[in-house]
A and B are shown apart, each in its own frame.
Chain A
Amino acid sequence: MRQDTKMTVSIRALEHAYGELRTLDSLDLEVAPHSVIGLVGPSGCGKSTLLELICGLLEPSAGTLDVEGGRTAAERLGRCAYMPQRDLLLPWYSALDNATLGLRNRGLAKAAARAQAGELFGRFGLAGFERTPPAELSGGMRQRVAFLRTLVSGKPLLALDEPFASLDAITRAEMQEWLAGALRTDPRTVVLVTHDVEEALYLSDRVAVLSARPARIVAELQAPAPRAADRDAAVTDPAFVAVREAAMRALREGSR
């Protein structure tokens, strides 16, 4: 990676603690524009905390965070779209109205917001489900609406916190393929937190392995075939398997 590239995210000597509990320990990280970085680590290591720090939902104890030139929490908040672990679709709104939340919050009229988000429904395999309440959608569809809601907000950085953790194995693989496809046609800068090494290596350009709390980066790995069209072939490729094993080793050593 060239040094002169303007990074979308740059993090320097970041530290964070909840009272006495230190969660992050002098962490450095950079994310290039239109690239996907995967963050993997043991449960409870502070991955989600790091994501909330990047998104401006939390303030660090020390160090600097820069997202597209925004350094304060409020500036970072305006530049990141955060997609939480569960889809958190609001049950009192239809699928379409959930997708328009970000636009509506920014003051766009209901009709205009619906038109703008509605255009994407077909591309996301959700055509015909605009008026459906979230409770009547399948898990995969709910996740796609949640992703659509994140995407439509038009923020430069997408922060995804274990987006597919609540799905069954088959749906999860389908959703990974689907997200890879969506990012191939519409490249975005993404920070992806997951505990699934395979998911991280398939969807990301680069994967950072975090240690147990207080988290620091113990390894950074280049993914061999980011977002390949044929997922099954990509994840069984010997090069992919080798990197996956290296990541698993780093994860195990970091957990100690």
Chain B
Amino acid sequence: MKRWLLPALLVALLVGAWQIGSSTGAIADALSLEPFLIPSPAEIASSLWENRSLLAENAWVTLREMLLGLGCALIAGLGLAALMHRSETIRYATYPLIVASQAIPIVVIAPILVVWFGYGILPKVAIVALICFFPITVNALAGLRSTDPSAIKMMRSLDASGWQIFRRVETPNALPNAFTGAKIAAVLAPIGAVFGEWVGSSAGLGHLILQDSAKLEVAREFATVVVLSAIALALIGLVALAERRVVTWR
């Protein structure tokens, strides 16, 4: 009760203050801005309703980029983590590269991806996959490697093959960590998708924000932010829900 009520009350309080501050022009005055640049929550809500089909269309574009990118990152990240765990050679060879790849800012790679793959969905999926891949791989690998060596001895003594140990001990042991990685990735995916759209696109929520910004359509910009936040929260919630269903022993 307290866990839901208190944050809800705080949000209501903030939105209420914003409503009063923007409708009386107090916020605009304080920031020396034109009042139409500070839309009230009521104006944002009505913009949200009026533009619902436009927002839904663009939200679907961005959501698809996020889900496809996240899916690619999950497959590649979990696969590579498993390979790195099974083979010391692969681990030693790839680990420094994977860490170093994170040192290259995605900001400089994104324009190159657009040059290569054009303005379609592909560069966005690639950007989302690139930034989501790292937390998934690193966390899953840490989970696999945290397996109790005594449990592996016990399994070997019970005639387990390497594959059986991987399936029955190491993989379940790595699941909580893997979900942590997936949650971080779910937070990063919307950022990646919007950024990919900013570099070059013809649709999507990021594209919409960029256009509205140029046209000073501030109320619709805020409405887009609301939709994007809702998608991001839903994505994290979905991963958390999946974790609760799968990792029942914690």
A: residues with CB less than 8 A from B are: 52, 55-57, 77-78, 80-86, 88, 90-93, 101-102, 104-106, 133, 135, 149, 153, 159
B residues with CB within 8 A of A: 148, 150-151, 153-161, 164, 168-169, 172, 248-250
Using A92-B172, A133-B249 as known contacts, say yes or no to A55 and B155 having CB atoms under 8 A apart: no
A86 to B151 alpha-carbon distance, docked (Å): 9
Q: Determine whether the beta carbon of A105 is less than 8 Å from that of B249.
A: no
A135 with B249: CB separation less than 8 A = yes
Please give me the residue from chain B that is nearest to A58 by CB atom: B153
From A52, A85, A101, give the contact of B158 (CB < 8 A): A101
A-B contacts counted at CB < 8 A amount to: 60
Inside 8 A of A92's CB, which chain B residues have their CB?
172, 248-249
Residues of A within 8 A of B172 (CB): 90, 92
Q: B156: which of A57, A88, A135 is its contact (CB, 8 Å)?
A: A57
- Once the chains are docked, how many angstroms separate the CA of A86 from the CA of B246? 25
> In the complex, A187 Cα to B158 Cα: how many Å?
20
Instruction: Determine how close the nearest CB of chain B comes to the CB of A161; give it in whole angstroms.
Output: 9
The one of B150, B164, B169, B248 that contacts A84, using a Cβ cutoff of 8 Å = B150
* Contact status A77-B157, CB under 8 Å: yes
Q: Are B155 and A105 closer than 8 Å at their CB atoms? A: yes
Q: Tell me the complex Cα distance, A126–B45, Å.
A: 60
Residues in B neighbouring A93, C-beta threshold 8 A: 168
Note all chain B residues with C-beta closer than 8 A to A81: 157-158
Contact between B168 and A101 (Cβ–Cβ < 8 Å)? yes
Q: Across the interface, do B159 and A78 meet the contact criterion of CB distance under 8 Å?
A: yes
Contacting pair A105 B161 (CB below 8 A) = yes
How far is B155's CA from A139's CA once the two chains are assembled, in angstroms? 21
How many angstroms between the C-alpha atoms of A133 and B249 in the bound complex?
8
Whether B150 and A86, one on each chain, are in contact in the complex, defined by CB atoms closer than 8 angstroms, is yes
